[in-house]
Amino acid sequence: MSKLVTIYGGSGFVGRYIARRLANAGWRVRVAVRRPNEAMHVKPYGTPGQVEPVFCNIRDDASVRAVLQGSDAVVNCVGTFDAGGKNNFDAVQDQGATRIARIAAEEGVARMVHISAIGADAEAPSRYGRTKAAGEAGVLKHMPGALILRPSVVFGAEDAFFNRFAKMATSTPVLPLVGAGTRFQPVYVDDVAAAAVMGVEGQASGVYELGGPDVRSFRELMQEMLGVIQRRKLIVNMPFWVAGLMAFGLDMLQSLTGGLLHNSMITRDQVKSLRVDNVVSKDARGFADLGISPMATEAVLPEYLWPFRQSGQYAAIKKSAGNLRG
């Protein structure tokens, strides 16, 4: 019988790519999510019954244990950008990750992969970074042989980074950026998935920081995106103090409305994160140590950002027609 892996958050952006790769490698895949009925898109990744969404609440021991029983490996992809509410930084990224690792150890699960993030540091300026570090510590306490992956900003067809700003560029004359000079090292989602599979199959362990082949500033990445969608916009750097005031107001509005009005624009914690470069550390192990050659943004962005061009899929045809002479 094929081996079984449980992937917490396996229907999300990164998780679905890991699920697809493991299914293709012959694993039975249990996708643990809060809303299984919204995760049916993972079922076609394998043969009938090979990939199954199941309910799980990572804040509950019994729920975590139920979906982990019988598993040979476990992957935790669950993360959040919400500082408040029940599923906040501490509940998800610290306590949730630690709970999964503890129960995995109790259940005798052989291997664990944990998706963290560059910037995970107990002394990080942001609460996001500190809880990521706390989650890593909890994982290694209970599963010392785990593989921990720290990617920079992850890009791909379903990402919330390039897609978000490309959509913004279709309706506004300017692109306001907080920390336009902050550097990132974008990493392709399927490359992260390839690294995770190595951990599931026992080919890697320890901590790895994952970044693509190029290090660029926030402004440079947005200029590249605008080139891909063939739009000209003014990029404006928003000073951190202005962004901090705006984020404070939006956070307060969310708090005063009990979360009815959700702050999806910019939070105070995100402003703190954007003050720090998001690139692979010089002494960190990375893709080269895993034998993976990461994809560059220029090779992938045109494949999924074309809908944001003024003529969409017909942009190339329209351009070619304009070159015709009667």
Q: Which amino acid is at 36?
A: P
d(CA 221, CA 296): 12
Phi, psi angles (nearest 5°) of residue 159: -70, 160
| SS3 letters across 98-129 | HHHHHHHHHCCCCEEEEECCCCCCCCCCCHHH
Q: Residue 164: inside a domain, yes or no?
A: no
Total structural domains in the chain?
Answer: 1
Distance CA 140, CA 198 (A): 18
pTM value is 0.93
Given the structure tokens 């998706």, which residue do they identify? Answer: 115
- Local structure of residue 278 (DSSP, 8 states): B
Amino acid at 1: M
Residue 69 inside a domain? The answer is yes
- Residue 171 carries which DSSP code? T
Segment 142-147 shows an average pLDDT of 98
Sequence-separated (6 or more) residues with CB below 8 Å from residue 275: 125, 179, 182, 240
Distance, CA of 42 to CA of 39 (rounded, Å) = 6
Q: Does residue 163 have a pLDDT over 60?
A: yes
Residue 15 lies in a domain: yes
Per-residue pLDDT reduced to its tens digit, 268-307: 999 999 999 999 999 999 999 999 999 999 999 999 999 9
> Is residue 251 one of the residues assigned to a domain?
no
Q: Confirm whether 315 is domain-assigned.
A: no
Q: Which range marks the domain in which residue 130 is found?
A: 4-158+184-214+277-294
Q: Provide the 8-state DSSP code for 68.
A: H
- Are 193 and 20 in contact by the 8 Å Cβ rule? The answer is yes
CATH number, position 15: 3.40.50.720
Q: If you average pLDDT over residues 191-219, what whole number do you get? A: 98
Collect all residues with Cβ–Cβ distance below 8 Å to 48 and sequence separation of at least 6.
Answer: none
CA dist 27 and 9 (Å) reads 17
- 45 pLDDT above the threshold of 60: yes
Give a yes or no: residue 171 inside a domain: no
For the chain, the maximum distance between any two Cα atoms, rounded to a whole number of angstroms, is 76
Q: Say which DSSP state 280 is in.
A: -
Quote the percentage of the chain above a pLDDT of 70: 96
Indicate whether 225 belongs to any domain.
no
pLDDT of 326 reads 52
The reply to whether 227 falls in a domain is no
